[in-house]
């Protein structure tokens, strides 16, 4: 008989993995689709009419709402979400304009419908002053038909998010705090542009979980420069010790244009670990969390045994639920259109208070709707083939992936393996391409669910 190991983290990563958990050679690249894939952009002269049609269409039941705060105190070298430097004097005018946008839309929309998840994302919403966060949340609650059990998330980071500010958010109605941590390794954090050490970050989160009634979730990344087995095991150990209700684990995506690329070229950072390590690290985390009684809610998101985490916004956005968008750079989807609010901050602020500052509108065709269906299914990790009856070519592809160990197919049910969940962005991409070739002739648009918003800022990482 084997005795249980009293200290699970002392076991090497390999001891946690079962054969086939990590299949790093399954594809050359782990690559998601472009966010606007399948959308049909409208020419600017058509925007005003399209917007009026959208405004006149009642919102669906259990829609989503996203409010974007496009400021960051500094540019973290790994991140593609940075837009504008945070300065204290920028907060009040920005929140004034946002509240005007919420109020203007509320006064023009027909009654009906509801919003079951509201997300304040960024950038860094927690950079705003406590009073601005409180009045913004109050305005959103007043202007949007939130359900009684609405999930209300405020995203942010530890810097500038004092316990008092967190309390102000909760008093104003937020019930979920999503905090970007990235890693608890102090040296790595410094190199990435994070101000606090790993110990400090862990201590802060422990207190936040202990002292607030909110659901607290944290983001970690794997595949960062110099992040070896020991560092990743330490990150997971630490995350498990804090009392968090949820955890996001994102594979670091080193896309062109990140400041981190220049640092790698100059040798100012250790090399990236590569796909084989990323695949092992993902599988290790899944096994560790499973062993600790956590539940996997989507490919990158996990809920602790306290059962408080719903992850409602992130799950629904990936399966194409309608989403109203507010704030410079926010992306939304409603009444058969994807849209983006004006991303240039000066133009956003200069738009008259009774006009929607638009940056982009696209029609949502059947391709985009199919993509939502595929993404929703693969994010669940398990789905029924019946939903894809219109795409017979898909079955052959799924059988090939079964032979590779990426999934199992039993009768009508498909179940992704851990390796399949790691490769999900690539699987989604391949299936979307495959179905798009059959789209025009086979896919009846009315059989598809509504589209999902995927403009850049509030597209969560894969
Ligand atoms: C929109 S960002 C906001 C984070 C928050 N402002 C902070 O500073 O922690 C949300 C999350 O995206 C993830 N992320 C950012 N850049 C990424 C990249 N290049 N690859 C994968 N995930 C990334 C990070 O985990 C981050 O916490
Ligand atoms: S990680 Fe957060 S604070 Fe850093 S650049 Fe990205 S959005 Fe801004």
| Per-residue tens of pLDDT for the chain, all 462 residues | 444 455 666 789 999 999 999 999 999 999 888 877 888 999 999 999 999 999 999 999 999 999 999 999 999 999 999 999 999 999 999 999 999 999 999 999 999 999 999 999 999 999 999 999 999 999 999 999 999 999 999 999 999 999 899 999 999 999 999 999 999 999 999 999 999 999 999 999 999 999 998 999 999 999 999 999 999 999 999 999 999 999 999 999 999 999 999 999 999 999 999 999 999 999 999 999 999 999 999 999 999 999 999 999 999 999 999 999 999 999 999 999 999 999 999 999 999 999 999 999 999 988 888 999 999 999 999 999 998 888 988 999 999 999 999 999 998 999 999 999 999 999 999 999 998 875 533 333 222 222 233 334 455 666
Quote the Cα angle for 55-60-66, to 5°: 75
Alpha-helix runs per DSSP H in 117-185: 130-143, 163-171
Cα 64 to averaged position of ligand 1 atoms, centre (Å): 21
Tokens of 153: 């998330």
* Binding site membership of 250 for ligand 1 (Cβ less than 6 Å): yes
Whether residue 123 has a cis bond before it, omega within 30° of 0: yes
| Residue 381 phi, psi (nearest 5) | 85, -20
Which of 183, 105, 164 lies closest to 139 in space, CA to CA? 105
* Binding site membership of 79 for ligand 2 (Cβ less than 6 Å): yes
- Nearest-ligand number for the alpha carbon of 124: 1
3-state secondary structure of 368: helix
CB neighbours of residue 52 within 10 Å? 12
DSSP string, 46-93: GHHHHHHHHHHSPPPTTEEEEEEE-EESS--TT-S---EE--HHHHHH
* Binding site membership of 197 for ligand 1 (Cβ less than 6 Å): no
Q: How far apart are the first and last CA of the chain?
A: 40
Quote the Cα angle for 428-224-33, to 5°: 20
* Binding site membership of 183 for ligand 1 (Cβ less than 6 Å): no
* Binding site membership of 457 for ligand 2 (Cβ less than 6 Å): no
pTM of the entire predicted model = 0.93
Cα 273 to averaged position of ligand 2 atoms, centre (Å): 22
Tokens of 83: 């837009």
What gap in Å lies between CA 36 and CA 220, rounded to an integer?
Answer: 26
């Amino acid at each position: 008989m084997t005795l249980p190991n009293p200290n699970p983290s002392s076991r090497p990563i390999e001891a946690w993995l079962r054969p086939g958990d990590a299949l790093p050679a399954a594809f050359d690249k782990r690559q998601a689709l472009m966010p606007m894939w399948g959308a049909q952009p409208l020419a600017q002269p058509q925007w005003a009419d399209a917007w009026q049609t959208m405004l006149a269409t009642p919102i669906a039941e259990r829609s989503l709402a996203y409010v974007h705060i496009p400021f960051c105190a500094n540019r973290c070298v790994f991140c593609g979400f940075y837009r504008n430097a945070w300065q204290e004097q920028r907060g009040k005018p920005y929140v004034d304009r946002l509240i005007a946008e919420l109020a203007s839309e509320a006064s023009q929309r027909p009654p009906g419908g509801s919003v079951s998840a509201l997300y304040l994302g960024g950038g860094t919403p927690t950079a705003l002053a406590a009073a601005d966060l409180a009045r913004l949340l109050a305005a959103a609650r007043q202007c949007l038909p939130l359900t009684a059990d609405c999930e209300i998330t405020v995203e942010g980071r530890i810097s500038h998010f004092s316990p008092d500010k967190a309390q102000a958010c909760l008093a104003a109605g937020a019930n979920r705090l999503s905090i970007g941590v990235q890693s608890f390794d102090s040296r790595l954090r410094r190199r990435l542009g994070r101000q606090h050490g790993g110990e400090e970050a862990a201590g802060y989160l422990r207190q936040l979980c202990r002292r607030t009634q909110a659901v607290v979730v944290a983001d970690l990344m794997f595949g960062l420069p110099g992040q070896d087995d020991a560092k990743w095991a330490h990150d997971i150990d630490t995350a498990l010790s804090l009392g968090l209700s949820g955890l996001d684990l994102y594979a670091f995506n080193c896309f062109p244009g990140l400041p981190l690329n220049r640092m790698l070229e100059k040798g100012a950072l250790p090399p990236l670990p590569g796909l084989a390590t990323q695949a092992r690290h993902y599988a290790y985390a899944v096994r560790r969390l499973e062993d600790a009684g956590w539940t996997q809610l989507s490919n990158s998101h996990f809920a602790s045994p306290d059962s408080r985490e719903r992850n409602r916004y992130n799950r629904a956005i990936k399966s194409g639920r309608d989403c109203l968008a507010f704030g410079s750079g926010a992306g939304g989807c409603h009444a058969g259109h994807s849209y983006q609010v004006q991303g240039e901050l000066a133009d956003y602020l200069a738009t008259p208070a009774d006009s929607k500052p638009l940056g982009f509108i696209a029609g949502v065709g059947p391709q985009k709707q199919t993509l939502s269906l595929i993404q929703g299914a693969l994010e669940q990790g398990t789905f029924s083939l019946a939903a894809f009856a219109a795409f017979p070519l898909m079955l052959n592809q799924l059988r090939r992936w079964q032979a590779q160990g990426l999934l199992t197919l039993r009768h009508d049910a498909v179940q992704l393996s851990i390796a399949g969940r790691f490769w999900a962005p690539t699987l989604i991409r391949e299936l979307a391409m495959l179905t798009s070739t059959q789209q025009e002739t086979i896919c009846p648009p009315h059989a598809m669910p509504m589209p999902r918003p995927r403009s850049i800022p509030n597209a969560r990482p894969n």
